[in-house]
């Protein structure tokens, strides 16, 4: 695979290193001369000095034959424009952008960037696991279909504790794919698997039914019962 990376900062550097080790053809585009030199010393002749949003630089980089285009500079606007150039001017099939402000995810998606990675969202996801108010964590959006893979931690007060998976009233088009117990052991559940407090449930669901799914796992046991 020919992979172009725009941005030779820490993320770009380690990404390039890994992708080269995996046997890919990699080119990093970076503006800063010192960063270019450092990368060339460490990783060899895989660096192009230039602006990854400039048409001419992208032309020289052979963007037209890239299989994958990844923009990981520190500025969301640069990542957006680089990916839009790659996608719309050079017809790169798959573009990936790092976004710093998680609120930019919607606009990136609307403008056709295939995948966005928000480091802020990833960090939030990890700390939100500890926060009972945010029990549902989006793990991955499946391209094109409005489906998401989400993770929910079952709180001890949840009404689903002790119930069989087959007895859960899940929203339409929602599938529980994996349950990871408190010891960290993942299982693919059957309808007979029972849900336990502290389980992490990984499910595929429609984006619009996320709230309903969250309610299933977090609604407490009704006191009248």
Partner 1 sequence: MKTVIMGCGRVGAELATLLDREGQEVVILDIDPDAFGQLPDGFKGSCVVGNGIDQDVLRRIGLAEADAFVAVTPGDNRNVMACQIAKHIFGVPRVVCRIFDPIRQELYRNLGLETISPTKEVAQLLKQALEREPAETPKSEG
Q: Which residues bind partner 1 (CB under 8 A)?
A: 53-56, 75-78, 80-81, 84-85, 88-89, 101, 103-104, 106-107, 110-111
CB nearer to partner 1: give 163 or 207: 207
Q: How far is the CB of 158 from partner 1 (least distance, A)?
A: 33
Using the minimum distance from each CB to partner 1, give the nearer residue, 120 or 126.
120
Instruction: Name which of 107 and 178 has its Cβ closer to partner 1.
Output: 107
Min. distance of Cβ 112 from partner 1 in angstroms? 9
Q: What is the DSSP string of the chain?
A: -EEEEE--SHHHHHHHHHHHHTT-EEEEEES-HHHHHHHHHHH-S-EEES-TTSHHHHHHTTGGG-SEEEE--S-HHHHHHHHHHHHHTT--SEEEEEESSGGGHHHHHHTT-SEEEEHHHHHHHHHHTT-TT--EEEEEEETTTTEEEEEEE--TTBTTTT-BGGG--PPTT-EEEEEE-TTS-EE---TTPBP-TT-EEEEEEEGGGHHHHHHHHHPBPPTT-
Distance in angstroms (rounded) separating the CA atoms of residues 86 and 95: 8
Q: Which is nearer to partner 1, 107 or 212 (CB)?
A: 107
Q: Cβ 102 to partner 1, closest distance in Å?
A: 11
In whole angstroms, the minimum distance from the beta carbon of 107 to partner 1 comes to 5
Query: In the bound complex, what is the minimum distance in angstroms from residue 75's beta carbon to partner 1?
Result: 7
- In the complex with partner 1, which residue's Cβ is closer, 48 or 99? 99
């Amino acid at each position: 695979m020919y992979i172009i990376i725009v941005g030779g900062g820490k993320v770009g550097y380690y990404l390039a290193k890994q992708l080269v080790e995996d046997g890919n053809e990699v080119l990093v585009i970076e503006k800063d001369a010192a960063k270019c030199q450092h990368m060339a010393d460490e990783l060899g002749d895989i660096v192009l000095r230039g602006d990854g949003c400039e048409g001419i630089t992208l032309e020289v980089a052979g963007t037209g034959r890239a299989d994958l285009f990844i923009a990981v500079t520190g500025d969301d606007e640069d990542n957006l424009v680089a990916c839009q150039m790659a996608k719309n001017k050079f017809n790169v099939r798959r573009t990936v952008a790092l976004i710093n402000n998680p609120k930019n995810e919607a606009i990136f998606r609307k403008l056709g960037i295939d995948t966005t990675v928000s480091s802020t969202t990833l960090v939030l996801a990890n700390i939100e696991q500890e926060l009972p108010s945010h029990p549902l964590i989006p793990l991955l959006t499946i391209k094109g279909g409005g489906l998401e893979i989400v993770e929910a931690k079952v709180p001890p007060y949840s009404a689903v504790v002790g119930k069989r998976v087959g007895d859960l009233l899940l929203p339409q088009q929602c599938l529980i794919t994996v349950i990871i117990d408190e010891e960290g052991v993942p299982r693919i559940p059957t309808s007979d698997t029972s849900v336990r407090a502290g389980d992490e449930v990984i499910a595929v669901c429609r984006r619009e039914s996320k709230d309903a799914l969250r309610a299933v796992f977090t609604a407490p046991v009704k006191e009248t019962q």
